[in-house]
């Protein structure tokens, strides 16, 4: 039987069984020849290689994982692939993975607990490990997932789960110091999603700094972390009578700037606005946005390095890394109105 007979009759991609039949050997012999050639004698190996070439057989990732125990793939899950915050994180993770010989499988969890949970489950069979950015999963689910496969979180601190933390609470403290120095005594926090661990930490830091420095802090929200949600958030800020708004992320803050302009609110003469993340675009919106800057690409690299240490592909074994943040002042913040 020829290679053409096999592929045409079956009308599908060649399988390992097709290779075995054409080479006249058992499928287990083909598997050994592909995963560990030294275990198969030269003549048999040559027949198998010829059959592979004739059939155009390509081993699937799942088949390779059965023989090697590895897929060569790492899943990187982010809540919103359209959010520029994740661009540098994805780039940093991919560069580190490529240098180690791994492929990155990028997945958008759409800010959904259910989607993220199902994708983590899927990665058990299709990836060697997982990096979860800003996870919406509860602590118990994350702990269980980390016990089943190598896993690292970014901006989500759970006991016994390796993590990379961006120290945005320190950036929030610097923000309150900045606003107080400009004469602001009433500020509002425009909160992120209700399930966001980062939003809760930022609010706690703002409250503590406000009490220390004499700035009355209130919170409105939750809001989706998108520019589209900025219009409604801006209306709520105007109604609050605060003289400054500290916003969960830059996308939401940039959306607010457009609405504030429509409403005739001058930034920063009437209201100061401070964002968080320093995403691409924050420096050339109108006005340029004061924001908390973070080493986002470094977070992606460090998370991958920590994951590779679990996979035995890198030295060291850190379980928690904290990266510093700092306030970048631009034209969206100014003296409190008299």
- Give residue-wise pLDDT tens across range 173-195: 999 999 999 999 999 999 999 98
- Given this model, what pLDDT does residue 90 score? 96
Instruction: Say which residue, 124 or 35, is predicted with more confidence.
Output: 124
Other residues' Cβ atoms within 10 Å of the Cβ of residue 211? 12
- Give residue-wise pLDDT tens across range 59-99: 655 555 555 567 899 999 999 999 999 999 999 999 999 98
- Given this model, what pLDDT does residue 9 score? 46
Task: Give the residue from 214, 259, 275, 219 showing the smallest Cα distance to 242.
Answer: 219
Percent of the chain residues past pLDDT 90, beyond the cut: 72
- Given this model, what pLDDT does residue 33 score? 75
- Given this model, what pLDDT does residue 11 score? 53
Is the pLDDT at 257 greater than 60, yes or no?
yes
- Given this model, what pLDDT does residue 43 score? 85
Q: What secondary structure does DSSP assign to 3-70, as a single string?
A: HHHHHHHHTS---HHHHHHHHTS-HHHHHHHHH-GGGS-HHHHHHHHHHHHHHT----HHHHHHHHS-
Is the pLDDT at 5 greater than 60, yes or no?
no
Q: What is the mean pLDDT of the chain?
A: 90
Arithmetic mean of pLDDT, 313-325: 78
pLDDT band at 36 (very low <50, low <70, confident <90, very high): low
- Given this model, what pLDDT does residue 189 score? 98
**Considering the entire predicted model, what is its pTM?**
0.78
Strands of 186-190's sheet in order across: 216-220, 186-190, 244-247, 272-277, 290-293, 326-328
């Amino acid at each position: 039987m020829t290679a053409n007979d096999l592929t045409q009759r079956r009308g599908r991609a060649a399988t390992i069984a097709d290779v075995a039949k054409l080479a006249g050997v058992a499928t287990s012999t083909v598997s050994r020849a592909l995963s560990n050639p030294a275990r198969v004698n030269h003549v048999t190996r040559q027949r198998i290689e010829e059959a592979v070439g004739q059939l155009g057989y390509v081993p699937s990732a799942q088949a390779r994982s059965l023989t090697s125990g590895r897929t060569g793939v790492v899943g990187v899950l982010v809540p919103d692939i359209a959010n520029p915050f994740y661009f540098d994180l994805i780039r940093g993770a991919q560069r580190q993975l490529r240098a180690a010989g791994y492929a990155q499988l990028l997945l958008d969890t759409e800010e959904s607990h259910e989607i993220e949970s199902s994708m983590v489950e899927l990665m058990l069979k299709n990836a060697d490990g997982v990096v979860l950015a800003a996870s919406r999963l509860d602590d118990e689910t994350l702990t269980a997932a980390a016990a089943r496969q190598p896993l690292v979180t970014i901006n989500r601190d759970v006991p016994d789960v390796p993590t990379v933390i961006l120290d945005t609470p320190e950036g929030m403290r610097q923000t309150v110091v900045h606003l107080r120095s400009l004469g602001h005594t009433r500020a509002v926090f425009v909160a992120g999603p209700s399930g966001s661990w980062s939003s809760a930490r930022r609010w706690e830091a703002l409250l503590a700094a406000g009490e220390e420095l004499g700035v009355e802090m209130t919170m409105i929200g939750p809001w989706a972390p998108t520019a589209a949600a900025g219009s409604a958030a801006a209306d709520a800020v105007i109604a609050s009578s605060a003289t400054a708004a500290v916003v969960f992320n830059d996308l939401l803050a940039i959306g607010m700037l457009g609405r504030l302009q429509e409403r005739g609110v001058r930034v920063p003469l009437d209201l100061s606005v401070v964002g968080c993340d320093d995403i691409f675009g924050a420096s050339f919106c109108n006005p340029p946005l004061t924001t908390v800057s973070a080493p986002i690409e470094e977070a992606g690299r460090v998370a991958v390095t920590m994951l590779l240490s679990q996979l035995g592909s890198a030295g060291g074994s850190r379980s928690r890394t904290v990266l510093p943040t700092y306030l970048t002042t631009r034209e969206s913040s100014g003296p409190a109105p008299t």
